[in-house]
Amino acid sequence: MAVDLLLGLQWGDEGKGKIVDVLTTKYNIIARFQGGPNAGHTLEFDGIKHVLRTIPSGIFRKDSMNVIGNGVVIDPVVFVQELEGLDKFNLDYKSKLIISRKAHVILPTHRLLDAASETSKGKAKIGSTLKGIGPTYMDKTGRNGIRIGDLELDNWKDKYRALANKHEGMIAFYDVKVQYNLAEMEAEFFAAVERLKELQFIDSEEYLNQALKDGKSILAEGAQGSLLDIDFGTYPFVTSSNTTASGACTGLGVPPNKIGEVFGIFKAYTTRVGSGPFPTELFDQVGEDMARIGHEFGAVTGRARRCGWLDLVALRYACQVNGVTQLSMMKGDVLSGFTSLKVCTAYHYKGKEIKHFPFNIEAENVTPIYTEFKGWKADLTKMTEASQFPKELNDYIDFLEKELELPITIVSVGPDRTQTINR
Ligand code: GDP
Ligand code: IMO
Ligand code: MG
């Protein structure tokens, strides 16, 4: 058996949660491999909307196991809030959710460090979700971190104290005011750790590789998007983990030759939340209409998402880096009623026309070159088969498939589980 991957190809919020939920019925195990509570994955079914942060999007389906892999960073406080959100749905998550001992723990002081670092950057800030992601991964690679498995040791609080004291020194080093009451934050944190310890901690790489041997199927769920990858994204305006395909190998301990399908998912347009370059960003009424119709507000922070046309230069790059084998196009329904649509197929870059994603995509270096399409008027949200699609939508999809040299096998026409069309 293989591990299939589901990855966002843009700057996050492509609709990963929805598609994982749809695909879960085909898999025995759903596994998150990177990121943490900076993610907000939305699932909608039976008239209810759920937003998951660290818990894999397979949690609502009866028969799937959900694994939080070693590459994930976990904030016990947010995690317990997430569990409490699930409590009202009578889910037996204690038997369906398992956590890698090698996953790293986000401490209250990591969140404070995130805030201090962002404030000190002023206008150059990343636009972080301020969940402590960057500082936690820094401690991981700096070999100072506390892992989930450490919480099982009697003396883990000694290790905690030493690290938190070091962090306090670092917060003081930043020449910015960060108000906090650490005693209160710690009380909440220690209580949450106790709750977290009621769940099963495992050696997840052993569990997953054994599951493969036993013929079980695994879907690895990505968080964020390829353009937020620490290596391949629009650095430094990125997150602190590898969001691309190889992150699934290091974040779960599954070898590269066990990777099967790579599902790449993208919106029919582009959004970005936080700072950083965005060549096809719109600053006019069209962009505002996209944001309004698409309800483009962050699932985690509520911040307005910046909107723009689809960027095939960026998308081609993401497909290449990830080895995408099939695509899902999300939110096509949002574009219904736009008279014309544009797709960026190349960039003007330093006097030349280029088709590859260059080192620097700041606005002063890059001007998008567009192909224009006639829009469609039909409401897609009630459609159930691709044969009902208007000609203009088919033209749009055919063009993208040709440019990307990949099939678009899923077209999503609304937020609900049922609003999903296979082609
Ligand atoms: P994720 O982080 O990739 O899981 O995506 P988010 O949940 O942050 O953002 C996607 C948003 O779009 C959520 O509010 C979804 O409910 C919604 N959504 C997903 N697919 C569609 C779609 O095809 N059409 C519309 N209109 N909304 C969608
Ligand atoms: P999902 O999984 C969209 C963005 C932040 C910021 C940058 C760094 O829901 O797609 P961080 O908190 O990691 O320090 O923020 O990355 N960002 C996301 N944008 N969707 C996400 O997750 C994101 N997670 C982080 O806005 O620009
Ligand atoms: Mg999201």
Predicted confidence at residue 85, as pLDDT, reads: 93
Does residue 135 have a cis peptide bond before it, meaning omega lies within 30 degrees of 0?
A: no
Pairing of strands 310-311, 326-330: unpaired
What are the structure tokens assigned to 31, written together? 């596994």
Predicted confidence at residue 363, as pLDDT, reads: 86
Pairing of strands 3-8, 259-267: parallel
Give the start-to-end residue ranges of the domains of the chain.
3-101+200-263, 104-196, 266-422
Cα 213 to Cα 217: distance, rounded to the nearest angstrom: 10
- Please choose, from the candidates 146, 149, 122, the residue with its C-alpha nearest in 3D space to the C-alpha of residue 132: 146
Taking 90 as the threshold, does the pLDDT of residue 67 lie above it? yes
Pairing of strands 104-105, 73-74: parallel
Supply the angle between the helices 312-322 and 391-404 in degrees, to the nearest 10.
Answer: 50
Contact 365, 358 (CB under 8 A): yes
Instruction: Tell me, in angstroms, the distance from the centre of ligand 1 to residue 65's CA.
Output: 23
Class for domain 3-101+200-263, per CATH?
Answer: alpha beta
Q: Choose one of 38, 42, 306 to mutate for the ligand 1 pocket test, by most ligand atoms within 8 angstroms of C-beta.
A: 42
The string of pLDDT tens digits covering residues 373-401 is 999 999 999 999 999 999 999 999 999 99
Helix (H, G, I), strand (E, B) or coil at 220: strand
Query: Is the pTM higher than 0.95?
Result: yes
Known binder of ligand: residue 300? yes
Identify the burial level of 113 via C-beta atoms within 10 angstroms of its C-beta, where 0-12 means exposed, 13-18 middle and 19 or more buried.
buried
Helix (H, G, I), strand (E, B) or coil at 42: strand
Can you identify the CATH homologous superfamily of domain 266-422? Adenylosuccinate Synthetase, subunit A, domain 3 (3.90.170.10)
Known binder of ligand: residue 302? yes
Predicted confidence at residue 15, as pLDDT, reads: 98
**Which CATH number does the domain 104-196 belong to among 1.10.300.10, 3.40.190.10, 1.10.3470.10, 3.40.50.300?**
1.10.300.10
Instruction: Tell me, in angstroms, the distance from the centre of ligand 2 to residue 127's CA.
Output: 8
The string of pLDDT tens digits covering residues 193-241 is 999 999 999 999 999 999 999 999 999 999 999 999 999 999 999 999 9
How remote is the C-alpha of 55 from its chain's centroid? 12
